[in-house]
Amino acid sequence: MINSLRAELLKMRTMPGVWVTFGLAFPLTVLGILIVLASAGGFPGHTFYYVSSLSQRRRLLGAGFFGIEVLAPIIGVLCITSEYRQKTITTSLVLVPIRSRVLLSKVIATALWSIYIALLGLVAVAAIALPWNAALGGVTSQVTDQIGAVIPGLLASAVLLGLFGLGFGTLVKNQVAAILLTIGGTLILEGILIALAKAIFHYDLNWLPNGAGAALAGDIARGFGGGGGGNGPNAFRLLTWWQGGLVLLAWGVGPLVLGYFTTFRRDVT
């Protein structure tokens, strides 16, 4: 198992698509920082303002979530679909003929690379968001005090969103289709479905992947793609963090198990 995992990690480390994805984590986090600081104040003459409320401080610290929700599923998709796209699946399965072992290695490798993306987001926050917030007049310690509240949800959502991408990649195999399904599905289609469900049925469609990820990530996801938050009768109610975690886990494991039995175990001709 360790051998197979080490091979998977080397494969991912030498895959250009993974590095492109990794490279996007930093600018997407910066975009997240811009959104948080732009929405923090609302005072005339100030485009950006320092964060003050608990929710704002957590969102600033977790600005990497903006990149995670886009990139972690892509990491998962790339991990499995590149094997079919580049036809390396034959070599992979000859080298490690027990397929469940190969897939489990991919689960762990995807989780690790998703965590790397989350950590890169935290580095971007430390390098840009905290000094910027301080320059705007914010108190850095009030933000860093929330590390314990933010990081577990951030890392857990990264791992499970990566697993979600891997699951769909296992099921679909075609790289382009899998990326469109995971990213287009979660960022575009999910938003449309949520809006329609709310408008027509007054129902909070909060158990789709991105909504579940936002629930798991908690406060940090509000205002990003995960939606959620707000008060009043029209507020979109997220699941609780543990419900979100379980639902997102199901969104990952379900397609993965289905893909394993319908696609991954098929003949490699």
Partner 1 sequence: MSSGPTTRGLPIEINGLTKHFGPVVAVDDLSFSVAPGRVTGFLGPNGSGKTTTLRMLLGLVHPSAGTATIAGQRYQDLENPTSSVGAVLEATSFHPARRARTHLRMAARAGGHDEKRADEVLGLVGLSGDAKRKIGGFSMGMRQRLELATALMGDPDVLILDEPSNGLDPQGIAWLRDFMRYLAGEGRTVLVSSHLLSEMAQTIDDAIIVSFGQLKAQGTLAEITKGITGVVMRARSPEADRLAGVLTQAGIAFRRLGHDEIAMDGVTPEQVGPLLATNQIVLYELAQEGGDLESVFLSLTSGLGFGDVAAAAPPSAPQSPSAPPPPPPMAP
Which spans of this chain sit near partner 1 (rule: CB under 8 A)?
3-4, 6-7, 10-11, 14-16, 82, 86-98, 267-269
Minimal distance in Å, beta carbon 251 to partner 1?
A: 28
Angle at 116 between CA 7 and CA 105, to 5 degrees: 30
Minimal distance in Å, beta carbon 135 to partner 1?
A: 41
Distances (CA, A) of 183 to 4, 79, 191, 225: 28, 15, 12, 11
Tokens 């990491």 -> residue:
75
Minimal distance in Å, beta carbon 175 to partner 1?
A: 13
Minimal distance in Å, beta carbon 48 to partner 1?
A: 40
* In contact, 226 and 210? CB cutoff 8 Å: yes
Report the residue number, 89 or 181, with the smaller CB distance to partner 1: 89
Minimal distance in Å, beta carbon 41 to partner 1?
A: 46
Report the residue number, 99 or 198, with the smaller CB distance to partner 1: 99
Q: Cα–Cα distance between 136 and 158 in angstroms, integer? A: 30
Report the residue number, 109 or 129, with the smaller CB distance to partner 1: 109
**What does the block give as tokens for 58?**
């957590």
Q: Cα–Cα distance between 20 and 241 in angstroms, integer? A: 30
Minimal distance in Å, beta carbon 4 to partner 1?
A: 6
Task: Count other C-beta atoms under 10 Å from residue 26's C-beta.
Answer: 18
Report the residue number, 92 or 133, with the smaller CB distance to partner 1: 92
Report the residue number, 98 or 126, with the smaller CB distance to partner 1: 98
Question: Count H helices, E strands: the chain?
Answer: 13, 0
Report the residue number, 5 or 51, with the smaller CB distance to partner 1: 5
Angle at 51 between CA 50 and CA 56, to 5 degrees: 155
**What does the block give as tokens for 14?**
């030498």
Report the residue number, 16 or 42, with the smaller CB distance to partner 1: 16
Minimal distance in Å, beta carbon 107 to partner 1?
A: 16
* In contact, 49 and 136? CB cutoff 8 Å: yes
Question: For residue 164, which of 88, 113, 110, 239 has the smallest C-alpha distance?
Answer: 110
